[in-house]
Amino acid sequence: MKVLITGGAGFIGSNFVRHLLNSKRDVNVINFDSLTYAGNPESLADIAENPRYQFIRGDVTDKQAVDAVFKNGLDALVNFAAETHVDRSIEDATPFLRTNILGTQCLLDAAKRFKLPKFVQISTDEVYGSAPAGVSFTEETVLDPRSPYAASKAAADHFVSAYANTYGVPAVVLRCTNNYGPYQFPEKLIPLMVANAREDNPLPIYGDGMQERDWLFVEDYCSAIALALYKAQPGTIYNVSAGAPQPNLKIVRTILKHLGKPESLMQYVKDRPGHDRRYALDSSKIQKELGWSPKVSFEEGIRRTVDWYQSNTAWLNHARSGEYRNYYDRHYVRRTETFSK
């Protein structure tokens, strides 16, 4: 089986490339990634020489480059390639429309023309919008994206179902909650808090810190994606979640406890505009139909994650150099100043 993985140098993509190569002996993986600020070949250094792995630097909006990969024959595609950070989408939505919508459409066009047997679209729980207390959204919930990032992902989902309906592209859509684990770029909540706390820098908490996210350990998500790749019927949408939303403050306190750092490092800053209060998904459909279930408890997952960042400081420091510094200064220095005025 020859699988094209787009965006495989990012957080979930790199974990999935590794998961697939280690769990399936008959799989060849092509990782097609343009290496934006979030893409990092160091996340796959351990498998770079694997004869069943090939890396191609390319952009999902580049028709010629995409066609060149499809021409050699593919059995499936898993599309992770995306601009993924909500705060950056608030700063400038343009790259989100380009990669998340036009890039998905470019891949769908190739899938149509080359009659790809399976297209797995990696979507997000954010397409449903904010969930009221006590409610977990199902696959039937009407989409209500509320940030520029979420709107671009919802548009991509609509294109996937339009191409399935119009041209018969055999597509499966996965909508997952927040992932955490090794190799996550440190602009996201958990690695950012670990990185700052290690150096006794302030931990910026948006608003009151009581927003809830339904955290899933990345290995558990990888096993769900593999099941979808091998077993899901075309035309199916699956929600994936741990089913246990928790407030941000609780997550940050847990990280501080693991690192032995004081809660006085927490600093309340100006809230994210349009901040979704709560994400929560019902994942009973994938559990029932594909036999998936999460295996890693939050307690174990967060311990493994904090330990990983503690023992991979070279990876972390490299990720936090260059472009990251500009982003951090632009985003947080301004935010803190505005808040304290």
- Site residue total, ligand DAU (CB under 6 A): 19
Give catalytic status of residue 279 as yes or no.
Answer: no
Q: Work out the end-to-end distance of the chain between its first and last CA atoms, rounded to an integer number of angstroms.
A: 58
Question: Could you please report the per-residue DSSP string of 58-81?
Answer: --TT-HHHHHHHHHT--SEEEE--
- Using rule CB under 6 A, residue 177 touches ligand DAU: yes
Q: How far apart are CA 174 and CA 316, in angstroms?
A: 28
211 binds, among ligand NAD, ligand DAU, none (CB under 5 to 8 A by kind): ligand DAU
Cα 155–chain centre separation:
17
Q: How far apart are CA 177 and CA 210, in angstroms?
A: 17
CB nearer to ligand NAD: give 250 or 337: 250
Stretch that binds ligand DAU, among 22-30, 65-73, 119-127, 295-303 (CB under 6 A): 119-127
Stretch that binds ligand DAU, among 14-22, 121-129, 131-139, 300-308 (CB under 6 A): 121-129
Encoding tokens for residue 65? 């480059």
Cα 63–chain centre separation:
24
Buried b (16+ CB within 10 A) or exposed e, 38-49: bbbeebbeebee
Cβ pair 150, 130 in contact under 8 A: no
The least CB distance from residue 31 to ligand DAU, in Å, is: 19
Angle between the 104-113 and 63-71 helix axes, to the nearest 10 degrees?
40
Q: Which of 33, 59, 109, 149 is catalytic?
A: 149
86 binds, among ligand NAD, ligand DAU, none (CB under 5 to 8 A by kind): ligand DAU
- Using rule CB under 6 A, residue 173 touches ligand DAU: no
* DSSP structure class, residue 131: P
CB nearer to ligand NAD: give 208 or 323: 323
Cβ pair 264, 205 in contact under 8 A: no
Give catalytic status of residue 163 as yes or no.
Answer: no
Q: Which of 83, 126, 212, 220 is catalytic?
A: 126
Cβ pair 5, 29 in contact under 8 A: yes
- Using rule CB under 6 A, residue 14 touches ligand DAU: no
Q: Convert residues 17-56 into a mask of x (bound to ligand NAD by CB under 6 A) and - (unbound).
A: ----------------xxxx-xx-----------------
The least CB distance from residue 239 to ligand NAD, in Å, is: 11
Cβ pair 191, 316 in contact under 8 A: yes
Encoding tokens for residue 101? 């919508």
Cβ pair 335, 271 in contact under 8 A: no
In this structure, the strands spanning 266-269 and 2-6 are unpaired
- Using rule CB under 6 A, residue 7 touches ligand NAD: yes
CB count within 10 Å of CB 23 equals 11
- Using rule CB under 6 A, residue 175 touches ligand DAU: no
Q: Convert residues 152-191 into a mask of x (bound to ligand NAD by CB under 6 A) and - (unbound).
A: -x----------------------x-xx-----x------
Residue ranges in 76-105 that form contacts with ligand NAD under rule CB under 6 A: 80-82, 84, 99, 103
| Phi, psi for 105 (deg, rounded to 5) | -65, -40
- Using rule CB under 6 A, residue 205 touches ligand DAU: yes
CB nearer to ligand NAD: give 103 or 182: 103
Q: What is the binding site for ligand DAU (CB under 6 A)?
A: 84-86, 124-126, 177-178, 188-189, 192, 204-206, 211, 213, 248, 272, 279
Q: What is the binding site for ligand NAD (CB under 6 A)?
A: 6-7, 9-13, 33-36, 38-39, 59-61, 80-82, 84, 99, 103, 122, 124, 153, 176, 178-179, 185
